[in-house]
Chains A and B, each alone.
Chain A
Amino acid sequence: EIVLTQSPGTLSLSPGERATLSCRASQSVSSSYLAWYQQKPGQAPRLLIYGVSSRATGIPDRFSGSGSGTDFTLTISRLEPEDFAVYYCQQYGTSPRTFGQGTKVEIK
């Protein structure tokens, strides 16, 4: 099983600032099958990024993904008020599909 470790656990930032979230895998992620999801309280997760760097339908371009192998990053270039949420990375190239433990982006 591929274990995904996200850091930091919590990121305290102000609107307009840049957010950089990290996801490290215990082994190489197959065929770049790495995704990022956003989850707000009481809501289902929403797909932001798939294939390491491709934005899902309707996702604004302030969200970007990068990385390869075992190290991946989600960057939010300028935080909007609606971006404060929990973010999960996921690998979907091998079974079981696994998620990181999440990074909470909170308002400073």
Chain B
Amino acid sequence: QVQLVQSGAEVKKPGASVKVSCKASGYTFTNYYMHWVRQAPGQGLEWMGIINPSGSSTSYAQKFQGRVTMTTDTSTRTVYMELSSLRSEDTAVYYCAKSRGEFSLYRAFDYWGQGTLVTVSS
């Protein structure tokens, strides 16, 4: 069965960086794009970007351009999302989410990780 297992909660100071991992299993890792979505406390869902796990091509939401980097390690079937220059407004649960269709950029998100809480506080 498909599983996405994320790394544990993080507490960071303003200005620092955080790197969240998402380890995939149960499907052909390189055939499906992976997205990152975040959710601030009590708020809605916000798309951050997408990565092609096979070729590492990425596309980021304009809001996060210059601050976010998504990478992949095919040997461990893991994708990473690093967010830099953290501020209090970045406090949120960060999710990885698998694209539903093979080799396709434009599909719904059919499996989600359990979420990683990142708290930014001085």
Name A residues whose Cβ lies closer than 8 Å to a Cβ of B. Answer: 30-31, 33, 35, 37, 44-47, 50-51, 56-57, 88, 90, 92-93, 95-102
Q: Is the CB of A44 within 8 A of B44?
A: no
Known contacts: A45-B45, A99-B47. The answer to whether A50 contacts B114 by CB under 8 A is: no
Instruction: Using A37-B45, A44-B115, A93-B106 as known contacts, list a sample of 12 further A-B pairs with CB atoms less than 8 Å apart, ordered by residue number in A.
Output: A45-B109, A47-B100, A47-B108, A47-B109, A56-B100, A92-B109, A95-B59, A96-B61, A97-B35, A98-B47, A101-B44, A102-B45
In the complex, how many residues of chain B place their beta carbon closer than 8 angstroms to a beta carbon of chain A?
Answer: 21
Chain A interface, DSSP helix/strand/loop, else mixed: loop
> Closest residue of chain A to B113, judged by CB?
A44
Known contacts: A92-B108, A96-B62. The answer to whether A44 contacts B95 by CB under 8 A is: yes
Using Cβ atoms and an 8 Å threshold, which residues of chain B touch A100? 44
